[in-house]
Amino acid sequence: MITTLFNPSLDEFFHTTYPFSSVFTEVTPTAIATQYPSNKQNLDLIVGSCHIIICFDLDRGFTLLWNPSIRKFSELPSSLDEPHRLRAHVTYGFGYDYFSGAFQVVAFSGYSSGSLDGKVFKVKVKVHTVGTKTWRRIPDFPYGVPVDESGKFVCGSVNWLTRYGSDYVIVPLDLEKESYRKLLMPYYGEVVVIKSTLEVLKDCLCTLAFANTFSDVWLLKEFGNDEFWIKLFRLPSMEDPYGFCFYERLLYVFEDGKVLLQFHSELVVYNPIDGTLKTLQHIYGVSEVYHESVVSPLCFDMCSGY
């Protein structure tokens, strides 16, 4: 399923889901309209999904979890202390601790420490175990500052792309051990990479490496081992009236090799066989892919979203 959240104005959100089958077989995809699950209208972005639960960033330290299949949601307490709530910038990760059997939301908030003439920027990290009422502090982020809007969940870890020195590295946070490690990015050879993003494809970490007129997609086949990067394919860049632009997200690769991407507020499909890019009409907004599951992840109280 593809879920999209569209905000045509400042006071109204439209949430819609689309089955994969209709997206590629129908001129106008079958839309399943669902109500936005909260009366708060300060939604920032979709953090991610895990076992059909979708995590939203509501801004000012608040997050919301939603199960669209059963139309239930749970709003979490703020991760920020009251004095910092209006000025702090927080990014989130959402995942599942397989050891404890609990969903967890991770909040990264930056702050400065040290004297006024020699400030050191650090990243404070808090974890909320879903089903509890509080956030708890864990060790600070050890490698630079995360550059992603949200962390990516793979193999029991929430992973962040970060700038460390002059290089970009990936930093996984193990949800069970609450420990960090560092993974190197792929070796790009002669390609000059302008920007990279971190995504998840086929339950593996992947990176979208942008050059001037194309983007290379790399997949980490063995989690935790940065010697196992392989290049999957190359994507042509898209153009808007201002020239070549980057894709915002790489969302999904289908069995036939077609690639689902987000470009601005539209969804685009790339066909590697003939090298064509096709915009999916009538689908707009911030998007997330999730799979419906027979496993019930609701080990916490949720309210009705309808």
Encode pLDDT of 225-281 as tens digits.
Answer: 999 999 988 888 776 655 556 677 787 787 788 888 877 767 788 888 888 887 776
pLDDT class of 40 with cuts at 50, 70, 90: low
Pick 291 or 209 by higher pLDDT.
209
168 in a structural domain: yes
Most confident of the ranges 149-153, 161-165, 171-175, 256-260: 171-175
Number of domains in the chain: 2
Q: What is the mean pLDDT of residues 19-40?
A: 55
Looking at the fold, whether 233 and 196 belong to one and the same domain comes out as yes
pLDDT class of 161 with cuts at 50, 70, 90: very high
54 in a structural domain: no
Convert the pLDDT of each residue in 135-156 to its tens digit.
999 998 888 778 877 899 999 9
Looking at the fold, whether 173 and 194 belong to one and the same domain comes out as no
Looking at the fold, whether 218 and 301 belong to one and the same domain comes out as yes
251 in a structural domain: yes
Pick 59 or 300 by higher pLDDT.
59
pLDDT for residue 296 is more than 50: no
Looking at the fold, whether 101 and 177 belong to one and the same domain comes out as yes
Q: What is the mean pLDDT of residues 53-64?
A: 81
243 in a structural domain: yes
Looking at the fold, whether 179 and 191 belong to one and the same domain comes out as no
pLDDT of residue 253: 80
Whole-prediction pTM value? 0.81
Looking at the fold, whether 175 and 258 belong to one and the same domain comes out as no
143, 165, 183 - which closes a domain = 183
pLDDT class of 208 with cuts at 50, 70, 90: confident
pLDDT for residue 45 is more than 60: yes
Looking at the fold, whether 227 and 301 belong to one and the same domain comes out as yes
pLDDT of residue 170: 95
161, 183, 205 - which closes a domain = 183
Convert the pLDDT of each residue in 74-106 to its tens digit.
888 888 875 555 455 788 999 999 998 899 999
Q: What is the mean pLDDT of residues 157-179?
A: 91
Percentage of the chain exceeding pLDDT 90: 24
pLDDT of residue 56: 84
274 in a structural domain: yes
Looking at the fold, whether 167 and 87 belong to one and the same domain comes out as yes
pLDDT of residue 10: 47
154, 183, 212 - which closes a domain = 183
233 in a structural domain: yes
Of 219, 243, 45, nearest to 148 (Cα)? Answer: 45
103 in a structural domain: yes
* Structural domain containing residue 284: 187-305
pLDDT of residue 116: 47
Looking at the fold, whether 203 and 261 belong to one and the same domain comes out as yes
pLDDT of residue 36: 53
169 in a structural domain: yes
Compute the mean pLDDT over every residue in the chain, rounded to the nearest whole number: 76
Looking at the fold, whether 164 and 198 belong to one and the same domain comes out as no
